[in-house]
Amino acid sequence: MQELVSLSLEDLANVVVSTPSKSAQRLPEVPATVRVITAQDLRDRGCLTLEEALADLPGIQFRNLVGFNGYAFFRGVPNQNNHVLLMIDGVQVNELNSGGFYLGGQYNLANVERIEVVYGPASSMYGTNAVGGVINLITRDPQDTPGLRVSTLFGGFDTRRQDFTWRSHDAEQDLGISLSGMLKSGDKADLRGSRGDGNWSGSLDTSEQDAALDAKIRCRRVTVGLNLLDKEASYATKDRSTGTALQDFDVPWHIRFLNTWARYDFRRADRWSWSSTAYYRDTTVEDDTRPVISRPTATDPGYRERWFRPNHLVGLENRYDGTLGPHLSLNLGHLRETETLAAGFARSRSAAWSVEPEAPARPDMLTNDLTSLYAQLTWHLSEPLRLTVGSRYDDSDVYGTVNTPRLGLVYNRGRCNAKLLYAEAYRAPKPWDFRDGLGNPDLAPETMRSSELAVGYRFAENLRAEISLYRNVLANCLTRENSAAGWRWVNLGKVRTTGCEGTLEYRRGKGRSYLNLTYTDADDSTGRAVPEIALHTANAGCQYAFTDRVKFDLRGQYLGRRRNPPTTAAGGDPEIDDAFVMNGTLSLADVAGCDVQIAGRNLLDAKYFHTSNTTVSRYRQPQRSVSLEIARRF
């Protein structure tokens, strides 16, 4: 345990990442701002959900509905999670119809080797939706620590989790297999009655049931993988039920994500390599989703609804990485995808509250093709200086052609690392945008232009600081337009964001500590501050290994004051107050052959809130809870 805590900052800074350029590079040489969450970080902090893993990073703010989904805002732009790409092992898991990803507990974090978080536009490599950043969950390889590990966890809000990970590797045959699974259930918070601002009844359900399965087989040059995520969470907190006929329990939102892929890798010494990846993606809102139940009244028998939305995609990506002499390297890629998406939700409704509706019919399906070409050239101008130029060309049946360039100048010598970056990105409308509300068939892609200066300096072996200064302009913003007839999405206005992210990290011997400070000044076309974005946020933490078997971790998050969207401000909460939240863990290794961890969330039991874009004026966040995890290796 102590060995990982004692790693020098120089070793940690030179970790190899693969997400920014789709090829392995040392972190100081990457033309992007990248922050890495290691498997050890996830274990030490007792992370149960993806948002818990991301919450200790600078530059990310959240809107948590304490229900079927939550939303992460990178660098000052609120959205429906469709400005950030989420991937597992380099294959996207964003929902195909809306383009947004899901936060929550459905990710099998026990099988994650590291999470690479790329900040800023990345469309030059990944195309649409890579506007605010990219999150890549990289799972463990079969050759990592062979054997079986099982874990069980229970805690507050009736939380239960069981997971296992098994790996085997035959070096002689160059054959490896890994298999991992997880089941998790529990409530998210107690928001019944007055505890939830009176928005819901005393029967409110905030439960979530998750399941995950990861499999990977590697034989010589071929790797085959599977990732299955199943999330069934209460939809009750989506809207206020008090004073309405809405039922706020037994209303599950059930979505399933399935990724399967096969990759062939060929390498010719250190000169060049070729990779081909075929993949299949399925993201389906299952037909047992029952998000709306209207209770009977004296004049209305009420009703129940079931929704269904299937989507799938097949794709093939070929990539070449090579050197063109002692000073030039080249990355080339070609991608072809065909997606089949539901034109909208298929719905069925019963004639009364007491009657279960029939399964919805299959909706009309839309088939679209995408062809993409991307290239990136890196020129080693001198020993410390590298220039990277790249671009991607997308040709879509839906939104036509888009070109997104990228430029990066990286200086890396001794204790200093500096990056001057420029990138463009876009987010193309999806069927969900075209048809939501009244619908709007004339939507155009949102576009982003970003400039950034990032500097890192190691003052001593154990002390390092980083600062990132950036300016982003998001144009053609998809904005909700309200009228007497209803509402729809339109392209309107810009969001201009000026920001600064600073990090200070200290490691020595058995301890480590860090401090993140974030300044985010986001304004709309009228010059007003963008709702839901705090001007100041901060994260700080410390960790100490008392012995090889006992480790303590304590972290705090400061959430700055922020405005509520105008649609909810009328409900009486125009602003959300600032708050301080503290979390901690105590980890004990080799206790009767087991590893034990006690984790506390919201240790001070702070009563704090997140913003809302629904009929709920604000969302109270989970109260204090404690969990106990016991794990054993065989």
Question: How is 442-483 classified by DSSP, letter by letter?
Answer: T---EEEEEEEEEEEEEEETTEEEEEEEEEEEEES-EEEEEE
Can you give the pLDDT at residue 4? 43
- Measured over the CA atoms of residue 575, residue 577, residue 578 and residue 579, the dihedral's sign is negative
Range of lowest pLDDT (118-122, 397-401, 479-483) = 479-483
Q: Which domain holds residue 453?
A: 2-142+157-194+206-633
Tokens standing for residue 192: 């019944």
DSSP 53: H
Residues 207-264: tens digit of each pLDDT: 999 999 999 999 999 999 999 999 999 999 999 999 999 999 999 999 999 999 999 9
HEC readout, 207-219: EEEEEEEEEEEEE
147 falls within a domain: no
Indicate the pTM of the whole model: 0.96
Pairwise CA distance, residues 177 & 90, whole Å:
19
Lowest average pLDDT, out of 2-16, 123-137, 442-456, goes to: 2-16
Q: Residues 387-401: pLDDT tens digits?
A: 999 999 999 999 999
In this structure, how many other beta carbons lie within 10 angstroms of the beta carbon of residue 439? 13
* pLDDT band (50, 70, 90) for residue 1: very low
Single out the residue of 289, 285, 284, 286 nearest to residue 357, CA to CA.
Answer: 289
The predicted pLDDT at position 11 comes to 72
d(CA 421, CA 410): 8
148 within some domain: no
State the CB neighbour count (10 A cutoff) for residue 114. Answer: 19
Instruction: Give dist(CA 623, CA 67) in Å, integer.
Output: 15
Tell me the torsion sign for CA atoms 112, 113, 118, 119. Answer: positive
Determine the Cα angle at 42 with ends 36 and 48, to 5°. 125
Domain presence at residue 149: no
What is d(CA 218, CA 221) in angstroms, rounded to the nearest whole number?
Answer: 7
Q: What's the mean pLDDT in 482-498? A: 89
Strand partners, 403: 393
Residue-level pLDDT at 229: 98
Which residues are within 8 A (CB) of 592 and not within 5 positions of it... i.e. 6 or more apart?
Answer: none
Q: What is the pLDDT of residue 489?
A: 87
- Quick check: 3 pLDDT over 60? no
CATH number of the domain that residue 17 is part of: 2.40.170.20
Residue 110 lies in a domain: yes
Tell me the β-bridge partners of 563: 575
Q: What is the mean pLDDT of residues 473-484?
A: 88
Residue 5 has pLDDT above 80, yes or no: no
Handedness of CA 39, 41, 43, 47 (dihedral sign): negative
Q: How many CB atoms lie within 10 A of CB 507?
A: 21
Count of all residues that appear for the chain in the document = 634
Q: What is the 3-state secondary structure (H, E, C) of 507-533?
A: EECCEEEEEEEEEEEEECCCCCECCCC
**For residue 438, what pLDDT is reported?**
87
Percent of the chain with pLDDT over 70: 97
The DSSP bridge pattern shows strands 84-88 and 133-139 to be parallel
pLDDT on residue 571? 58
Share the mean pLDDT of the chain: 94
Can you read off the two tokens belonging to residue 544? 């100490």
Residue 152 lies in a domain: no
- Within-domain flag for 511: yes
Give the C-alpha separation, 85 to 90, whole Å.
10
Instruction: Please provide the DSSP assignment of 479-498 as one string.
Output: EEEEETTEEEEEE--EEEEE
d(CA 186, CA 151): 17
**Residue 349 — φ and ψ, nearest 5°?**
-135, 135
Q: What is the pLDDT of residues 520-552, one digit of tens each?
A: 999 998 899 999 999 999 999 999 999 999 999
Number of domains the chain contains = 1
Tens digit of each residue's pLDDT (9 = 90 or more) over 412-429: 998 999 999 999 999 999
Is the sign of the CA dihedral 53, 56, 60, 64 positive or negative?
A: positive
The pLDDT assigned to 493 comes to 87
Cα four-point dihedral sign 347, 350, 356, 359:
negative
Q: Percent of the chain at pLDDT above 90?
A: 87
Assigned domain for 201 exists: no
Q: Greater confidence, 487 or 627?
A: 627
Residues sharing a CB contact under 8 Å with residue 194, sequence separation 6 or more, in sequence order: none
pLDDT in the model for residue 332? 97
**523 in a domain, yes or no?**
yes
Which of helix, strand or coil describes residue 432?
A: helix
Q: What is the pLDDT of residues 170-202, one digit of tens each?
A: 988 899 999 999 999 999 999 999 999 999 999
Please give the pLDDT value at position 139: 96
User: CA 257: distance to chain centroid?
Assistant: 14
Q: How confident is the model at residue 436, as a pLDDT?
A: 82
Q: Are strands 25-26 and 16-17 parallel, antiparallel or unpaired?
A: antiparallel
pLDDT surpassing 50 at residue 82: yes
d(CA 587, CA 551): 5
Q: Is the pLDDT of residue 2 over 70?
A: no
Average pLDDT in the 45-65 region?
97
Q: Using 50, 70 and 90 to split pLDDT, how confident is the model at 485?
A: confident
Q: Report pLDDT digits (tens) over 559-573.
A: 999 999 876 544 567
